C-alpha cells in the first residue's frame, strides 16, 4: 500500500511539472527569420500570363497563353560573373590539390609520418577527441567499427585539412615530395608516380606555366525525390571552355577574348560564359554546400539553407517581367531604346552591327537599368540557362502552379531565355523561348541562380485579395 502511494505521488509530481497543462502547444522552436542571400533580391509570390504579349506564330515557339502562379524565391541581381565563378573554380582546384597532398602524406613510404614532416600539414583531419577529453558516443562507434584514423577513403569520417595555405610558387615548395605532387614525377619517399598539376611554360601561349584545367573536377550528386534515393556521384570538369570564342564564330579574330576573358581582372565583373547547363548545376550545388559548411563552422543551431538552383522557365519569365503584366521587355515598353534614343540592353540592333549599342561583346553584369524587381540584364548581354527541359508547346500541358518540365533521359534540350549580345531584339522579349543542349558551351550563354523562399512573403501587409 505504501509503495502504491509513492507511485501515485510520483506521477502527480510528474504531471504537475508539465508546462503545457495537457494542452496541444506544439514543439518549441526558435522563430525563423529568413536572411536575404548576398547579391540576391526577393521575387514575391504571384501569378501572371505566361506567353507572348503579341502572339506571332511565325516567330513565337510557344504562342499559347496560360495563367500560372509562382512561389516566392530569391534571384541573383545579375548573371553569375567571372569573379564569382572563379571562386568556385579556385575552391575546387584547391580541394583537388589538398586531396593529393593528403594521400601523399597518408601513404608515405618509410617510417611513420611525424609532425616534423612538411606533408604533415596536409594530413586529412579526423574528428578525434583531444587529449584528456572524453570521447563521444559517435567517436567510440567509429573506432569500434574500423572507421577510425586508418580509413582515409571514408569520406564521412575524414575531411580535408584547410588550415594551411598551399605553396604555389616553386621557391616556396616544402620539400621534394611536395614538389613531386604538384609538378609530377616521383618523390624520394612517395609510393607512386604523380601526374602533376601544371602545364610547362614552354607549352602555353603566354609563356607562363598554367594549371591543368582538366584536373579541376567537381564531384557531386543529387537526391532523386521520385526514386527516393541519391544519384551516383558524377565528376565534372568545371573550368569554362574559353575556346568558345573560336568555335562560335568561324573566320573571326577573337583571340584576345579567348586569352583574357575568364581570368583577367578587367573582366572580373562580366558574366561568365562557356559553361554548360551541367556546369551551372554544379556551381549551384557547390554554392549550397559552401554556405551550409560555413553555417556549421559557426556552430549555428539553425536549419540548413534552402538549396541554390537554376530557375525554372516559369520563374525566369515571371522575374523578367518585373511585375508588369503583358510586358514585352523587362522595362515594360515595346521599344528597345528610350526617349533619348539610347538602347536599353546589350544586343545586336542591326545585321552585322554589334556595336550600335556601343558594346561589341558582353557588358559588365550590372549594366543598364534594372527592372522593377531590381534585376539587371534579364534581356540581352548573355542568354541564361534555366532548369527546365525544352518542349515545344509546353504551355498546353504544364500545371498552373509552379509549372516546370523536368529533365528526362530522352530529352537533353534545356530552355535558354533572355537573348544575348549577339542576338536580334526578338530574342530579348521576356516570352521568347530558345534552347540549347545541356552539354553545350557557348560564348553567349551564362546563368544566374535562385533560392526558394521559405514561408510566405506577405509580412504585415494588408491582403490585397480580401473580399470583405
- Three cell numbers written together for 398: 504544364
Beta-ladder partners of 48: 68
User: What is the model's pLDDT at position 79?
Assistant: 98
At residue 16's C-alpha, the angle toward residues 10 and 17, to 5°, is 90
Q: Could you give the 3-state DSSP secondary structure of residue 385?
A: strand
Place of cell 616544402: 174
Out of 81-90, 105-114, 318-327, least confident range: 105-114
Out of 149-163, 282-296, 354-368, least confident range: 149-163
DSSP 218-230: EEE--EETTTTEE
User: What is the model's pLDDT at position 57?
Assistant: 45
Place of cell 514543439: 27
Mean pLDDT score, 357-378: 95
- Three cell numbers written together for 65: 497563353
Domains of the chain as residue ranges with CATH: 40-81+272-452 (3.90.1580.10)
pLDDT exceeds 70 at position 115: no
DSSP 156-203: TTEE---SS----SGGG--SHHHHHHHH-B--TT-SS-B--SEE-GGG
pLDDT exceeds 90 at position 377: yes
pLDDT in tens, 408-462: 767 899 999 999 999 999 999 999 999 999 999 999 999 999 999 988 765 544 4
User: What is the model's pLDDT at position 114?
Assistant: 64
Q: How confident is the model at residue 133 (pLDDT cuts 50, 70, 90)?
A: low
User: What is the model's pLDDT at position 251?
Assistant: 93
Q: Could you give the 3-state DSSP secondary structure of residue 234?
A: strand
C-alpha dist (Å) from residue 302 to 29, 236, 291, 447, 450: 10, 31, 12, 29, 21
User: What is the model's pLDDT at position 104?
Assistant: 84
DSSP state of 374: S
Q: Cα(first)–Cα(last) distance of the chain, in Å?
A: 65
pLDDT in tens, 196-225: 999 988 888 778 889 999 999 998 888 777
Amino acid at each position: 500500500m505504501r509503495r502504491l502511494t509513492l507511485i501515485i505521488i510520483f506521477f502527480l509530481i510528474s504531471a504537475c511539472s508539465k508546462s503545457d497543462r495537457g494542452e496541444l502547444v506544439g514543439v518549441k522552436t526558435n522563430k525563423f527569420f529568413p536572411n536575404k542571400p548576398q547579391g540576391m533580391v526577393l521575387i514575391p509570390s504571384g501569378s501572371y500570363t505566361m506567353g507572348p504579349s503579341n502572339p506571332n506564330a511565325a516567330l513565337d515557339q510557344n504562342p499559347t497563353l496560360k495563367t500560372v502562379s509562382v512561389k516566392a524565391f530569391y534571384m541573383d541581381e545579375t548573371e553569375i560573373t567571372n569573379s564569382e565563378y572563379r571562386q568556385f573554380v579556385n575552391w575546387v582546384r584547391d580541394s583537388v590539390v589538398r586531396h593529393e597532398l593528403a594521400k601523399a602524406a597518408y601513404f608515405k613510404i618509410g617510417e611513420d609520418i611525424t609532425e616534423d614532416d612538411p606533408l604533415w600539414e596536409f594530413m586529412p583531419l579526423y574528428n578525434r577527441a583531444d587529449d584528456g577529453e572524453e570521447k563521444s558516443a559517435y567517436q567510440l562507434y567509429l573506432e569500434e567499427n574500423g572507421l577510425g584514423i586508418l580509413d582515409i577513403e571514408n569520406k564521412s569520417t575524414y575531411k580535408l585539412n584547410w588550415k594551411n595555405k598551399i605553396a604555389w610558387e616553386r621557391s616556396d615548395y616544402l620539400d621534394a615530395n611536395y614538389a613531386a605532387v604538384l609538378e609530377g614525377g616521383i618523390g624520394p619517399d612517395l609510393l607512386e608516380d604523380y601526374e602533376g598539376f601544371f602545364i610547362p611554360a614552354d607549352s602555353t601561349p603566354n609563356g607562363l606555366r598554367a594549371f591543368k584545367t582538366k584536373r579541376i573536377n567537381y564531384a557531386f550528386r543529387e537526391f532523386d525525390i521520385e526514386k527516393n534515393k541519391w544519384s551516383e556521384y558524377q565528376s565534372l570538369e568545371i573550368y569554362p571552355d574559353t575556346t568558345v570564342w573560336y568555335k562560335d564564330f568561324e573566320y573571326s579574330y577573337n583571340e584576345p577574348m579567348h586569352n583574357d576573358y575568364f581570368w583577367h581582372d578587367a573582366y572580373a565583373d562580366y558574366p561568365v560564359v562557356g559553361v554548360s547547363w551541367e556546369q551551372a548545376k554544379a556551381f549551384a550545388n557547390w554554392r549550397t554546400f559552401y554556405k551550409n559548411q560555413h553555417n556549421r563552422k559557426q556552430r549555428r543551431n539553425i536549419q540548413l539553407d534552402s538549396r541554390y538552383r537554376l530557375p525554372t522557365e516559369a520563374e525566369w519569365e515571371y522575374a523578367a517581367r518585373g511585375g508588369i503584366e503583358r510586358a514585352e521587355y523587362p522595362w515594360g515598353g515595346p521599344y528597345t531604346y528610350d526617349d533619348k534614343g539610347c538602347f536599353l540592353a546589350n544586343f545586336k540592333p542591326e545585321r552585322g552591327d554589334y556595336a550600335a549599342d556601343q558594346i561589341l561583346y558582353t557588358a559588365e553584369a550590372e549594366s543598364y537599368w534594372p527592372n522593377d524587381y531590381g534585376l539587371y540584364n534579364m534581356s540581352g548581354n548573355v542568354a541564361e540557362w534555366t532548369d527546365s527541359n525544352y518542349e515545344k508547346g509546353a504551355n498546353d500541358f504544364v500545371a498552373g502552379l509552379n509549372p516546370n518540365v523536368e529533365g528526362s533521359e530522352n530529352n537533353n534540350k534545356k530552355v535558354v531565355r533572355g537573348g544575348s549580345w549577339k542576338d536580334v531584339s526578338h530574342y530579348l522579349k521576356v516570352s521568347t523561348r530558345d534552347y540549347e543542349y545541356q552539354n553545350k558551351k557557348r560564348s553567349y550563354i551564362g546563368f544566374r541562380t535562385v533560392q526558394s523562399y521559405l514561408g510566405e512573403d506577405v509580412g504585415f501587409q494588408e491582403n490585397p485579395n480580401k473580399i470583405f
